[in-house]
Amino acid sequence: MSHLTREQRYTIASILQNGYNQKEIALVIKKDKSVVSREIRRNADARSGVYRDDLAHRKYLKRQEYKAKTRTFTPEVEEYVRDRLRLKHSPEQIAGVAKKNGDKCVSHERIYQFIWQDKRKKGTLYLDLRNRGRRYKKRSVIYDKRGIIPNRTDISQRPPEVELRERFGDLEIDLIIGKNHKGAILTINDRATGFGKLHKLDGKDAQQLATATIDCLMEWKPFLKTITSDNGKEFAAHELVAKHLNIDFFFAKPYASWQRGSNENFNRLVRQYIPKKVDFDCIPTDYINFVEYQLNNRPRKRFKYESPMFMFNQLFFIFLFF
């Protein structure tokens, strides 16, 4: 058993004060070193880093109490899970938000089990999962032989502070292409907050895309700093965007989608609502706005289960009043 008693926690606290290391403590209480390491890491004081046996035991009991509350998949919990799945929330997001809010729920592993049990019974809950539960397959590289975009500025010249994701206004941009390469959806998202914008286009015309980008972002103009795209020819009018929005426009390295990871992830989220092979001509603008709203209000693990909208408002408040 890896569980520690109150007495063992007292022993750990006492001999830590006398300078014993974790290996020596493990020998004294007759536990594996990994148990001691995990105990100190999980239960030490969050502010001071000091391990106290009374605080450690209270933390342990609180976790046990939470586990007891969340162990049972009650009808109430099932309804909660089903409601969140309809909103396209992942099992991790469902369990994470419930824990943050103190709501009754089960672990994300148990939610996945519930979904697969439902699928075996011919249920459809799995359809609300990202990629419908299938392992994500990276897009194959399509080499573009139409030449280089004129006057492009490489991502290597982008300010290093963009990587920190601490300020609003560093954007990533891309296109999602419709069935038979007809129609497109412009996707723009902020690196720091995850807040995104969607705009439906008739095609991949560079001038049309530039105009749509300017229209989408004009209200943010005073706060914009950088924007990064891939090397698609649809971004050939980048200088027009940079001029009207007073923003620095950068291009990722060819075939390096990871340099625009935020936008790649955002596009996959959009695909939960607008799957491939869907005719974009059949998608009304109201639905595009609905998808944008849903994604901006979806809890994200990255933000400790706060939403991009929450993070957006928080950063704007700091910018305006401090």
pLDDT by residue (tens digit) across 29-73? 999 999 999 999 999 998 888 999 999 999 988 887 766 665 678
Residue 144, pLDDT > 60, answer: no
- The answer to which of 89-93, 133-137, 295-299 has the lowest mean pLDDT is 133-137
Share of the chain above pLDDT 90, in %: 70
Burial of 124 (0-12, 13-18, 19+ CB in 10 A): exposed
Give phi and psi for 197, each to the nearest 5: -130, 145
d(CA 219, CA 207): 20
Backbone angles phi, psi at 126, to 5 degrees: -60, -25
Q: How confident is the model at residue 104 (pLDDT cuts 50, 70, 90)?
A: confident
| Element at 76 (helix H, strand E) | helix 75-86
Percent of the chain with pLDDT over 70: 91
CA distance 262 to 273: 18
In this predicted model, what pLDDT tens digit does every residue of 254-291 receive, in sequence order? Answer: 888 888 989 999 999 999 999 988 999 999 999 999 99
Nearest 5°: CA angle at 206, between 204 and 210? 110
- With cut-offs at 50, 70 and 90, classify the pLDDT of residue 320: low
In the predicted structure, residue 209 carries a pLDDT above the cut 90: yes
